[in-house]
Amino acid sequence: MMNTLTLWFHKFGSPPTFHWLTGRLTPWLFAAALIIGAVGLYGGLVLAPADYQQSDAYRIIFIHVPCAWMSLFAYFFMAANAFIALVWRIKISEILAMASAPVGAFFTAITLATGSIWGKPMWGTWWTWDARLTSELVLLFLYLGVIGLYNAIEDRRQAARAAAFLALIGIVNVPIVHFSVNWWNTLHQGTTVRLIGPSRIDSSMLWPLLLVALATHIWFFASVFARARVSLVELEGGKEWARKVALGTGGQHD
């Protein structure tokens, strides 16, 4: 079993195979994300009842919460691939780590923006140096730091390794963001959706939220794969398969 998994991992890690496979998957992933996201948003913005305290203002959670979850998931994905790249020198992991940084930064920026929009009517201010908000802002700076460091070094593989170190150092902020509402007094509300035990949210609001969360995860992988394919062709430009792809004459698995 282990040998089979190892062989599969190394085959998927082959640049031509990765490029071909993700090229087949990416359009389907984007389509699935759009359909599932549309259903989830319709359920949350139209079908779900108004909240008894926040009225219709609470509906921003159907964008804010999935994006907040994704901001953490994307950083974990980036750091995991950074670790694999540094330890086993796997080129695909370097590319995946760097491709996920802009996508994670995008979700983090949306989280901060929607949080501010939600905070204004609830707290009376656009921003406060709340533990959750501040640690989420630090997360955005970490993403931007990884992106900036990667683009500051001309050698792509050396740049990826340097940025990977920064990504691994910054992983300490992920549990701080997640547990900040439990560790400190904060204006931010506590956890309402639980993987273990009952969620403190009505089912009519929960299912649209989970659908949008699923859509954002699918969209994340589609976007990362699309970015990684472009980076891979640029990095492998001197090889025959990459030249064929760049010229539009095909590649592996034709």
Take residue 199 and report the two structure tokens written for it: 């969620």
H-state helical runs in 43-155 = 61-88, 91-123, 131-152
Residue 166 has pLDDT above 90, yes or no: yes
Range 25-43 average pLDDT? 98
Residue 50 has pLDDT above 50, yes or no: yes
Please report, for the chain, the start and end positions of each structural domain, with discontinuous segments joined by +.
57-247
Q: What is the pLDDT of residues 230-250, one digit of tens each?
A: 999 999 877 888 788 877 766
Answer yes or no: are the C-beta atoms of 238 and 231 closer than 8 Å.
Answer: no
Phi-psi region of 171 (alpha: psi -120 to 50; beta: other; left: phi over 0): alpha
Question: What local confidence, expressed as pLDDT, does residue 252 receive?
Answer: 52
Average pLDDT, whole number, for the chain?
88
| Residue 61, C-beta contacts closer than 8 angstroms, at least 6 positions apart | 44, 118, 205, 209
Take residue 184 and report the two structure tokens written for it: 């400190």
Residue 8 has pLDDT above 50, yes or no: yes
Q: What is the pLDDT of residues 199-215, one digit of tens each?
A: 668 889 999 999 999 99
Q: What is the pLDDT of residues 193-202, one digit of tens each?
A: 655 556 668 8
Neighbour count for residue 92 (Cβ, 10 Å): 21
